[in-house]
Chains A and B, each alone.
Chain A
Amino acid sequence: MKITNWLKPLSSRRRLYNDLSNEIQAHLEEKIEELVASGMSRKEAAAAARREFGNLTLTEEDSRAVWRWPGVEDMIEDIRYGLRVLRKSPGFTAVAVLTLALGIGANTAIFSVVNALLFRPLPFRDPARLVVVWHTPPQKSFPGVSKFVVSPANYLDWRNQNHVFEQMSAVAFRNFNLTGMGQPESVEGRGVSADFFSTLGVQPVLGRGFLEEEDQPGRGKVAVISHEFWQTHFAGSKDVLGKQIKLDDKSYEVVGVAPAKFDFPFQAKLWVPMAWTEKDRAVRGNHGYIVIARLKPETDMKKAQSEMDTISARLAQQYPADDAGWGAVVLRLNQQMFHEVGPALFVLFGAVGFVLLIACTNVANLTLAKALGRRKEIAVRTALGAGRGRILSLVLTETILISVAGGAMALLLAHFVIQAIAEFIGPQLPFTVQIGLDGWVLGFTLAISILTGLIAGLAPSWHLTKTNLNESLKQGLGKTDADSSGGRARSVFVAAEVALSLVLLVGAGLMIRTLYLLRNADSGMDARNVLTVTLGISKEKYATVTQQNGFFNHVLEQVRALPGVEFATAVDNLPLQGGSIQPVAVEGQPVVAMADQPEVPVRLITPGYLRVMRIPLKQGRDFTEADNANASPVILVSESFAKRFWPNENPIGKHVKLTFLPGDASEVVGVVGDVRLNGLSVTEPVQAVYHAMAQNPQTTFMRLALRTGLPPTSLISAVTEAIHRVDADEPVVGVRTMEAVVDLSIAQNRLNMILLSAFAGLALLLASIGIYGMQSYAVRQRTREVGIRVAMGAQPAEVFRLIIAQGLRLATTGIVIGLAASFGLTRLMASQLYGLSATDPWTFIGVSLVLLMVALAACFIPARRATRIDPVVALRYE
C-alpha cells in the first residue's frame, strides 16, 4: 500500500466520513424521489427506501471501518478506557503503582550497577579490543591464585615475540610524595611504558603523551597529570605545560593533561615514564606490572590466548629457574571489574528479580479482585460481540498502564538508591566506572515495566475470558460459585508470594549470619585500641636503608613518647590487607629452582609488633633491638608454617632462606600464632614469615601501628604532629583504626548484606500486603457465610479461627515450597558465605518462623473484622 494511503486517513478522516454520510443521504433521497414518482406516498417511499438500503448505521460503520487501523485505534481506545478506570479507583491504582515502583526500582538500581561495570563501554578508543594479560602462577607455589602481575623481562619478551597485539604496555603503581605545593601529600602515580596512552587510544586534552626517548634510563623526568589534578593543583590553568612538579624530591616537567574522568588504572592522579634501567629490564623472577594490550584487528581472543601459551611455554623452557610453571591468560579489559564483584551482583540480581515477581503477583491479585467485580461489565461486552482478544487486551492495557506508571516512579526511586550505592562503593571504583541512569538503564526499565504489566495482567484476564456469560449477567453482585475459582487463583498467588519471600529472607538471613560470624571471627590478632598510620616517605631524601630505618625509628621514638600510647611499632602491610608473597628455601626441604619454591607471605616488622597486635608467641622469642643489621639474620614463622615444613621437629633453630634477599639463610627464633593476613573471610591458615626491618637490606614502605588505652582516634593529631617533628615534609597518607581496617575488609560483605536484607524486607512487606489483601477480600466474600454461621450460634472465637486458619494454610503452603526452593537456590551464593553452610538449618528455621509470624499478623485485622460481622446485616446484604 502506498504511504499516502496510510497518511490520508489521519489527515482527512473527518472529511471522508462527512462525504460518506452525505453520499448515503443523497442515495436515500434519490430512491425516495423515484418511489414517489412511481406513485407511493412520501412516508411509504421513505420506509421502503430504508428497507431496501438495509441497516443504515451498520453500513456507515462498516464503511468507516475500512479506513481505520483496527489495532492501533483499539489500543488507543483501550488506553483511554484504562486511564478512566484507573482514575475511578485511585486507591487500587496507588497501591498497584507503588508496589510495582518498588519492584521495578530495585531492579533498575541493580541493573545500573551491572550496566556500569559490564555494558558501558570504557572511555577508550575501540575498547572491545583492549585486553589485560596476566601471568598464571604455578599452582604448586600459589594454590588457588589464577592471575598474577608480570615481571619486566617477561613483559618485554611477550611484547617482542607476539604477533597478535598491536601494542602492549606495562603499568606499575607508584606513589609519590608531592612537595612544594602547600602541604606535603602522597599522590597516586603510575609508571607506564611510553606507548601507554596510545595503546588505550587516549589523547591528552592538553600537551602530549610520552615519547619513546623519555622511557629511557636516566630520562623520564616528565609527567602527564590527570584532569582532576590539573584542576586542584593548577586551577585548570592553560600554561601548566612546562611547569615543574616535585615528586619524591625530583623535578618532573608536566607535558600533558589527561582527559576528564580518565584515571586508568584505578584512580591514578598522574603518570610518569617507567624509564627502566638495564638492570630493571633483566628482572624475570620478581613480578609487579600490569600488562595491557590492544588486539590486532584480524585476531580474536582465542588466537591471542594460544599465542601467549606458545610464548609462555618457550620462556619456561628458556628460563626454567624463573619461568617454569608460569603461564599467561588474556582477559578482556572491560570484564576485569566485573570479575571482582560479579558473583555478588549475580545474587543481588536474583534477589531483585524475586522482589519484582512478588510485586507482579500482588498486582495480579489486586487486578483479579477488581476484575471479578467487573464481571458483569465484561459479560455485557462479550454479549455485544467483544472477542476474547479484546477482553484480554482490555485488562492487559490496564495492568501495563499501571506498570509503566510504576516504572516511571521506579526511576525516581532508583535515582536515590543508585546515589546511595554509588556513594558506598564509588570510592572503591575507578572513575571510568560511573554508576548512573543512562539510555541502557532507561531501556531496561521500560522493557521490564511492560513485561511486568503483561505478566501481572495475564492471569486475571485469562480468568475473565473464561467467565460464564449467563451466570454473570444474572448475578448482579457476582457472588456465585464462579468466585471459588477466582479465589483459588488468588490463593495460588499468595502462596507463591510467600514462597518467593521466604527464599529472599533465607538469602538475607545467611548473609546476616555471615557478617556476624565474620565480625566475630578470630583473626589471630586484637584489633581493638590500635591506630594505624600510613606514611609517605621520600625515596630521594631517604634513599638508603640506613636513612629510611633511621627515619622510622625516629618517628617510633616520638610516637612512643606520646601520652596514652602503650607501644608503637612498624609493619610493611597490615593484617587482612594482603602484601608481599615471596619464594623461600626451607631447611630440610629438597633444593629446587626458584620457580618451584613454595611462596609464602613475608611481613617486615619492628620489635614489639607482636605486642601491639597481641599476636601470641607460641614458642621461642620475639625480635629485640639486638636483631639488627650486624647480628645474624633471624625470622619468626607462623604456627602453620612450622607445622607444614617441620611437622615433627622443633622449628626453633631451623633455617629459611628468603630467596629475594641477599645474604645468608635466616634462623627461626620464634613461632607465633596464625593471623589472617589476606582478609577475614580467608580461613585457610596463613603460613607466614616475619622478618626484622633492621635486617632488611632493601628500602620498603612501612606503616605505623600503635596500641593505646585511649580511644585510638583521639590520638590522630598528636601522632601527626610527632611525625612532622621528625620531618615536616613527609605526608601522612592515611590514618585508620585497626577496627576500621577490619570493617574495610568486610565492606563488600556488608554492602551485600545490607542490600539483600533491604530487598528481603521489601519482599516481606509486599508479601504481607498480599496476604492481608487476600484475607480482607476473603472476609468480604464470605460475609454471608459468616453471617449464617453466627446466626447458627458460632462464637466470635470460632469465626476468628476460621479466617486465621485459612490464612495460615496459605502461608504454610508457601513456606514449604519456599524452603524447597531455597534449598536448591542458596547454594548458588555459597561463595558469598563464611562459616556456615548454604543450607544452614538455623537460618532456615528462624526465617520460616519470622514469615509465619508476619503472615499471622497480616491475617489478624481481617479476622477481627470477620468476628464483628452482624448476621442481620450480612444476611440482608444480598
Chain B
Amino acid sequence: MKKSEQRDLFPGALEMMILRTLKRQPLHGYALVQHIKRTSNDLLQIEEGSLYPALQRLLKDDLVKAEWGISSTNRRVRIYKLTAAGSKHLEREVSSFERMLDGITRVLAPGEL
C-alpha cells in the first residue's frame, strides 16, 4: 500500500514544508524528516536523503541558517533556523500554493462536466 500511495512532490514542495516546519521551531535534519513524516501521517514518504540538497539550497539562499548544537539524544547536530527572509519567502510560497490548490480543487470538483 505504501508504495502505491507515494507521489512525486512538485518542485519546491519539499522546501516549503521544511520552511513551514522550521517556522514552528528550529530543528536538526533527522528531527525535521521525522516531523514531516509524522505530520503528513506517513502519506508523504520522502526519501530522507533528499532533504539535504534542499537544505543546502535554502542555506545558500539565506532562507535558513544552521548552527551546531546538541540534540535531545545528546548528539552533536546541525540545527536549522528560519531567517527573516525565509519567513517572508514561506508566506509568499504558501499563498501562491493555496491559490494553485484552490484552482486545482475547482477543476477536480465533481458535478458540472
Residues of A within 8 A of B (CB): 1-2, 5, 19-20, 22-24, 26-27, 29-31, 33, 52-56, 58-60, 62-67
Q: Which residues of A contact B57 (CB under 8 A)?
A: 66
The answer to the question of B29 belonging to the interface, with a C-beta cut-off of 8 Å to chain A, is yes
Least Cβ distance of A54 to chain B in Å?
4
Least Cβ distance of A4 to chain B in Å?
9
The answer to the question of B97 belonging to the interface, with a C-beta cut-off of 8 Å to chain A, is no
CB pair A52–B48 under 8 Å, yes or no, is: yes
Closest-by-CB residue of B relative to A30 is: B30
CB pair A23–B52 under 8 Å, yes or no, is: yes
User: B30-74: which have CB < 8 Å to A?
Assistant: 30, 33, 47-50, 52-53, 55-57, 59-62, 66, 68, 71, 73
Q: Which residues of A contact B47 (CB under 8 A)?
A: 52-54
Q: Which residues of B contact A52 (CB under 8 A)?
A: 47-48
CB pair A24–B52 under 8 Å, yes or no, is: yes
Q: A26, A58, A59: which contacts B30 (Cβ < 8 A)?
A: A26
Question: What bracket does the count of chain B residues touching chain A fall in?
Answer: 20 to 34
CB pair B62–A2 under 8 Å, yes or no, is: yes
- Beyond the given A26-B76, A63-B53, could you list 5 further A-B residue pairs with CB under 8 A, ordered by the A residue number? A20-B56, A23-B78, A27-B30, A59-B50, A66-B60
CB pair B48–A54 under 8 Å, yes or no, is: yes
Least Cβ distance of B101 to chain A in Å?
28
CB pair A55–B29 under 8 Å, yes or no, is: no
Q: Known contacts A20-B52, A54-B50, A59-B49; is A26 also within 8 Å of B75 by CB?
A: yes
CB pair A29–B48 under 8 Å, yes or no, is: no
CB pair A56–B56 under 8 Å, yes or no, is: no
Nearest first, the 5 closest Cβ-Cβ pairs linking A and B are A59-B49, A54-B49, A54-B47, A66-B56, A62-B53
A313 to B89, CA, bound (A): 76
The answer to the question of B14 belonging to the interface, with a C-beta cut-off of 8 Å to chain A, is no
A28 to B66, CA, bound (A): 19
Closest-by-CB residue of B relative to A59 is: B49
Least Cβ distance of B35 to chain A in Å?
13
A66 to B68, CA, bound (A): 20
Most buried by B among A26, A33, A67: A26
Least Cβ distance of A429 to chain B in Å?
59
CB pair B30–A67 under 8 Å, yes or no, is: no
Q: Known contacts A53-B48, A59-B52, A63-B56; is A30 also within 8 Å of B71 by CB?
A: yes
Q: Which residues of A contact B29 (CB under 8 A)?
A: 23-24, 26-27
Q: Which residues of A contact B16 (CB under 8 A)?
A: none
A63 to B62, CA, bound (A): 15
Least Cβ distance of A7 to chain B in Å?
12
CB pair B49–A56 under 8 Å, yes or no, is: yes
CB pair B49–A58 under 8 Å, yes or no, is: yes
Q: Which residues of B contact A26 (CB under 8 A)?
A: 28-30, 75-78
Closest-by-CB residue of B relative to A64 is: B56
Q: Known contacts A23-B29, A62-B53; is A33 also within 8 Å of B73 by CB?
A: yes
CB pair A53–B56 under 8 Å, yes or no, is: no
A-B CB contact pairs (8 Å), 10 listed:
A19-B78, A26-B76, A30-B30, A30-B73, A53-B47, A53-B48, A58-B49, A59-B52, A63-B52, A66-B57
A306 to B4, CA, bound (A): 86
Least Cβ distance of B76 to chain A in Å?
7
